[in-house]
Amino acid sequence: MTTEIADRLQQINTRIQQACARSQRSADSVKLLLATKTVPADRIKTALETGHTLIAENKVQELKEKYDALKAVPHENHFIGHLQTNKIKDLLKHDVTCLQSLDRPDLAEKLHQRLQLEGKKMTVLIQVNTSGEESKFGIAPEGALQLAEQVSRLDTLQIKGLMTIGLLSAETEKVRQCFRLLRFLQQQIIAAAIPGVAMDELSMGMSGDMETAIEEGATIVRVGTAVFGQRPTPDSYYWNESVNVR
Ligand SMILES: *Cc1c(COP(=O)(O)O)cnc(C)c1O
């Protein structure tokens, strides 16, 4: 198991390096984040022990379940799933350094209130639905700038960039349009020069489309399947609103 995961991580790092080289970017301009939904803690631990450090869950429940088992291994936790406001308190108990899936004003507001109460701050990315698919979370592209302005007024939340899930399609050019749109929004928000808003990070690209994302400027690629293998649960369980509301 150890060598399998280590081998796959190495393959992914090679893919990242090659995509960076093709697009005249330095290899260290792209961070690899491991998407660990459904992956048992021991397999995640194996990945962390290769020296990899950045991981992310989609559900607070899974974050909680694996927390103790992973505590002893140095790593950084992001959160990339749809966050219900009643899970905020729990999220904050588990050392998440960045919420990549901030996608609506009421979530920002509630998160801010809780962070204030606890005297904490948090880094966030704004998640944009660039594919227009209804099953995807994220603010509509037209609303991204306004959400950035709203969030910038909440001093516990530090915006560092944008996140998106590209269209799940074999047609590379259609997928590329999603990533281009995210980059366009990044430029739009930079041009608005909102005090306190940084736009350093573009979190985009997964196992199937990370090369395209890197060509379009990704600084974080989020990879699950290519490291840990196929998941037992369909992704609709994580991405579809009607299923998530339970
Ligand atoms: C599962 C997931 C990923 C990783 O997807 P793979 O196709 O398994 O690489 C990336 N981002 C988010 C938000 C996810 O939920």
Give the model's pLDDT for residue 4: 92
Query: For every one of its 246 residues, what pLDDT tens digit does the chain have, with 9 covering 90 and above?
Result: 678 999 999 999 999 999 999 999 999 999 999 999 999 999 999 999 999 899 999 999 999 999 999 999 999 999 999 999 999 999 999 999 999 999 999 999 999 999 999 999 999 999 999 999 877 799 999 999 999 999 999 999 999 999 999 999 999 999 999 999 999 999 999 999 999 999 999 999 999 999 999 999 999 999 999 999 998 887 777 766 444 432
Q: Are 208 and 171 in contact (CB under 8 A)?
A: no
Predicted structure pTM score: 0.95
Give the model's pLDDT for residue 49: 94
Compute φ and ψ for 101, nearest 5 degrees.
Answer: -115, 40
Query: Separation of 7 CA from ligand 1 center, angstroms?
Result: 19
Looking from the CA of residue 208, the nearest atom of ligand 1 is 7
Long-range (24+ apart) CB contacts under 8 A made by 172-180 are 172/209, 172/212, 175/209, 175/212, 176/212, 176/215, 176/216, 177/130, 178/130, 178/131, 178/204, 179/130, 179/204, 179/205, 179/212, 179/213, 179/216, 179/217, 179/218, 180/216
Give the model's pLDDT for residue 240: 60
Q: Which fold is adopted by the domain 2-228?
A: TIM Barrel (3.20.20)
User: What is the identity of the amino acid at 119?
Assistant: G
3-class DSSP state for residue 130? coil
Query: Separation of 194 CA from ligand 1 center, angstroms?
Result: 30
Cα dist from 223 to 101, 183, 188, 210, 238, whole Å: 16, 20, 27, 8, 15
Ligand 1 pocket by Cβ (under 6 Å): 35, 37, 58, 80, 165, 206-208, 222-226, 238
Ligand 1 test: best mutation among 55, 80, 202, 231, most atoms within 8 Å of CB? 80
Beta-strand relationship, 157-164 and 122-128: parallel
Ligand 1 test: best mutation among 206, 209, 221, most atoms within 8 Å of CB? 206
Residue extents of the structural domains in the chain = 2-228
Query: Separation of 113 CA from ligand 1 center, angstroms?
Result: 29
Rounded distance, CA 54 to CA 33, Å? 5
Looking from the CA of residue 226, the nearest atom of ligand 1 is 9
